[in-house]
Structure 1
Amino acid sequence: MTEYEKIKKIEAYVGGYFGGYYQVEVDLENNSVSWTTGGEGKLEEIVHKNIRLATAKKFLEQLETLDLLNWEEEYVDPGTLDGTQWQVDLVMEDLTITKHGCNCYPEQWGKFRQAISKITGKPFR
């Protein structure tokens, strides 16, 4: 079993002080996805859906290709006070690994966002 196959849940958040936020939970044990967005004067929208086992496996393969477990723990642009914050929690049996940042992103961030958008069917900005 690879380290990626030990991931039970992925929780991802991105949002800014003046903008809206997007929050996603991909539950790989129960093959389900929850997506929440709100802010910017909009009402909160919540979507839940089930995903196929094959979809969940493909998603994990994408995360492994993006080398998500080896991202730095923190990405921060110290010159910016207000901006976009993000966080990714990888929930495993006995631990949760957190990656986060503020106005600074790992090189693979764009492809990670695409993978989240694809599995949820909703934007993740």
Structure 2
Amino acid sequence: MKIAILIARILLGFVFAASGVVSILKLGKMGGMPADATTFLTLMVAHNYTVFVALLMLIGGLLLLVGRFVPIGLVLLGPILVNILLFHILFQVRGIITGLVCTGLEIFLIWAYRSSFRGLFIAAPEIS
């Protein structure tokens, strides 16, 4: 099980760290998308929203690759994965496979590190 966790952590970390670097350096292309998706992404790029998301992707991916603070990395990447899935469901279903695979890896890692998330499910937490 430890080997499966290590492989999932490295794969997910690499995907997000590499995607973050590509986005920060603006190496990717926005071609081949429907007009609505192109408009949506153009607005996000124009307002530097994508730079902020790319930094979160890079930080989350690096935390997974290094193996330190993995639960924080998973928390950072969770909302990004939700947005990736929503983008592909609403705009471009064609590319959803990568998002689904990454979501599966994320869910597996959350389950593997479930003891770190236990405190989130306390109905009446104590204030310290």
User: TM-score over 0.5 for the alignment?
Assistant: no
Question: Going by fraction, where is helix more abundant, 1 or 2?
Answer: 2
Question: Going by fraction, where is strand more abundant, 1 or 2?
Answer: 1
Give the TM-score of the pair, scaled to structure 1: 0.32
Which one has a bigger Cα radius of gyration? 2
